[in-house]
Structures are given as structure tokens and as C-alpha cells.
Amino acid sequence: MIAVMMAALMSSLTSIFNSSSTLFTMDIWQRIRPRASERELMVVGRVFILFLVALSIVWIPVIQTANSGQLFDYIQAITSYLAPPITTVFIMAIFWGRVNEQGAFWGLMVGLVVGTVRMVMEFVYGTPSCGEKDLRPALLKDVHYLYFALILLALTALIITAVSLCTAPIPEQHVTMNRNPKPHTFK
């Protein structure tokens, strides 16, 4: 059973490391060195994987101190601080044709800053042990991270809406999605 769990973990980690390495090599390194050879890109990708492995190992104590070492709660909390703005921009851009670039940008930026501030506060103040008096600010003590995710989603949606309505809409010739109320029929 342990071998199966380790194999699943290794499979997930190698996928993440390879994807991250590819993103770094193709999107960042090639901009720094546009004439990099295939061999150089391969070496940079492998070195970046080693960097990610080292960073992951160094990050283990942080995970153990956050949320009393409960990995599931840690992952959910971090996701609750960073995912709602991205989700809100994506969903609103699909379902509301009035969303424009400025609204999406400022909604995403404000949402990510607010989520990052909450995440940093979580690390700075930590979680008190059972029986200890909770001296954290009310934002941490009284608002669970899942409720915070809903608040962050609503805040991001409000900012996207306000900025999109206060700025010019995207011209129709630049809108690629068909917003025709009549459905397409196939012949």
C-alpha cells in the first residue's frame, strides 16, 4: 500500500516539476537568451527542476508550522487565498460580455493582493495551540479561510464589475466569442 502511495506521489511531483521546468525554460529563459541551443535549454530545465526540489524540501518546515502540520488544511487555505480572484475573472469573462481588460486586470490584482495579505498574516501570526489564548486579529480569528474565499470572490467580482462599467467596453470587432442570442444550427 505504501509503495502505491509513493508511486502516486512521485508521479504527481514529476508532472509538476516537468511542467514548471518547461514554463520557466520556454517562457522566461528563452526571453533572457533568445539564441539558446537545445542543449542549453535542456540543462537549464534540469537545473530548474533541482531548484524546485530544493525549494520543496526547504518549504517542509513551513508546512509543518502552518495549520499545525496538517497538509490538507494548508493546501486548502493557500488555495482559498489565491484561487478566488482567478476563478472570478475566468467565470465573469465567459458569462458577462461587458467585462473588459481593465476590469479583469484590476479585479485580479486587487484580489491577489488581498489574498496574499491574508496568507502572509496567517504565516506571521500562526495558529495557536489548543488551550492557548487566540491573540490574532479578527480577520484571522473570526473569519475561516473558506468564508474568506467567498468574501474574496465577491470583492473581486465587485471590482471587476465597477471597473468594467466605468471604462469603455471591448469593441465588437475584437470580441471573438459569439454573443448572438440565437443558437447556431448545424445543417
Q: Are 25 and 46 in contact (CB under 8 A)?
A: no
Query: Are residues 128 and 159 both part of a single domain?
Result: yes
Query: Are residues 33 and 87 both part of a single domain?
Result: no
Q: Are 168 and 100 in contact (CB under 8 A)?
A: yes
- Does residue 180 fall inside a structural domain? no
Query: Are residues 89 and 166 both part of a single domain?
Result: yes
- Does residue 150 fall inside a structural domain? yes
Query: Are residues 89 and 160 both part of a single domain?
Result: yes
Would you give the distance in Å from CA 59 to the centre of its chain? 18
Whole-angstrom distance, CA of residue 35 vs CA of residue 31:
9
- Does residue 179 fall inside a structural domain? no
Query: Are residues 11 and 61 both part of a single domain?
Result: yes
Containing structural domain, residue 51: 1-66
In this predicted structure, what is the pLDDT of residue 10?
Answer: 75
Whole-angstrom distance, CA of residue 95 vs CA of residue 87:
12
Query: Are residues 136 and 57 both part of a single domain?
Result: no
Long-range contacts of 172-180 (CB under 8 A, 24+ apart): 175/97, 177/94, 177/97, 179/97
- Does residue 164 fall inside a structural domain? yes
Total domains in the chain come to 2
Query: Are residues 76 and 146 both part of a single domain?
Result: yes
Whole-angstrom distance, CA of residue 25 vs CA of residue 31:
9
Whole-angstrom distance, CA of residue 178 vs CA of residue 163:
23
SS3 150: helix
Residue carrying the nine cell digits 518546515: 61
Nearest alpha-carbon partner for 169 in 108, 95, 99: 99
Query: Are residues 73 and 155 both part of a single domain?
Result: yes
Query: Are residues 154 and 73 both part of a single domain?
Result: yes
Query: Are residues 104 and 114 both part of a single domain?
Result: yes
| 10-residue mean pLDDT series, the chain (187 residues) | 73 82 90 91 93 87 67 82 94 89 95 94 79 82 90 97 92 67 54
- Does residue 181 fall inside a structural domain? no
- Does residue 116 fall inside a structural domain? yes
pTM of the predicted model over 0.75: no
